[in-house]
Structure 1
Amino acid sequence: MSEVVYPPESVYNCLPKTEVLTQKPSRYMSKFRQTVILEEKANKETMRTMGPAKVEVASPDQYTKKHLKEPKLAKSEYFYQRHSCTVKKPPVPARTDNPPLGIHTKRDFIKTTTLVPMKPQPTCVDSKGHKQRLENSGLVPKYLKKKDYGEVPEYLIQRNEEKQRDQEDYENFVKDQKEQGAIKLMSDMERQALLADLKKNWDKLHHEYQGLSLVTDTLSKKAHKEKLEAAMKQLEEDIDLFEKFKTIYLPNH
């Protein structure tokens, strides 16, 4: 907090001021101070002299010679045995001598061994510089080399058999119903007439749908619009059914 300073002529300057004494904290002293001093003095006592007190002086004949202080490698017995002349090597064979059996010389090895050069692997490099083997790139028609190439897969054969079985069951059912007189076949003229009536009804609903207001602000308008959409959708499904199937059976009441 900053001290308040009054002008030189002020009543507050006549008041006695109390001196505030700040007490400094005691200086930190390590507990190992005396131990460190004793160790330092002990180490200095050993280093007062310049070298050992008594030194063995060499005689004048034993002076330092050249390469005397260089480190020398220890020579093993193998070194002496290899470089010594105690063992005499066999003489060089003549040009007419035949090599002993079971031993191949360098010249025979070169004649007998023939290295087959490696064939370069076909590779493929794309526009970004990525390199890969042509066999794994998908550009080679590997499927031509398959054992089952050109054969119909088993799942397709099974699917066709199931489809044929269902068709046979349906035909047998229709045949039984015909024999019992429960169903009758719709003629082509009846189918065309019914299809024309369905399309005519759809045109009427579509014309009515086009005349609806753009804003459906009431519940009745919204319900009428949804009703027309559902009726048109049902008519579209019926038209697709009559156009897709040429043979239609009706129940005989």
Structure 2
Amino acid sequence: MYISKYREVFLLINKQHKHQHRTMGPETVKAPSHREMCPQRPEGEKPEHTFRKKTKHIGMKKVIPQPACVDTGKRDKQLLEKSGFVPFYLQKNDYGIVPGYLRRRNAEKEKPKQDNDAWLTKQRETVKPLPEQEKQNILKGLKRRFNELNSEYQSLPFALFPSQYTKYNYKKFLEEKMSKLEKNIAIFEEHKYIYVSREDTSDQQQNNNSVQR
């Protein structure tokens, strides 16, 4: 067996430096500073955020069972939503709110009434009720005038022809006058209150005052 003559020298040198560089590097490693680990960014540069992209789950979709109710002993079931046990309409957001088309229709119905009320309010400012005594006097005058025209109408011949144009036209004139008087008499007798414009009443009062003078 071959043995080198430098074996003892080599063993001696090896023992002297055996544990000096056990990690194949210097004895103490200098820790890096904060600035070396986190270098400063230039002004105006935004930091770059590194994040992992969320990977989409590739696979079967999750099946959510629909609520159902079993109503027979044979386990016949039906969907709970269509069974009538769930207050479906009560959970709506517009439950209890009047629909828009009904509000528009009600507004269209109320508009003529409001216009009529406004017209009546305006008319009440410009008219006043006729006094009862004056109403009775006018009614008596209308009836008296009707009786006068009726007596003239009765005095005419029973049969008149268009050739007798004077009497024929006069008969038509009396009929028109009597029909108007009948309508006015019916108005005064049927209605309890008769309204006239304030201007007419003021003019009538002035005429009465002038007559009295």
TM above 0.5, one fold?
no
Name the one with the larger helix percent.
Answer: 2
TM-score, normalised via structure 1 length: 0.31
TM-score, normalised via structure 2 length: 0.37
Q: Relative CO higher for 1 or 2, CA cutoff 8 Å, sep ≥ 6?
A: 2
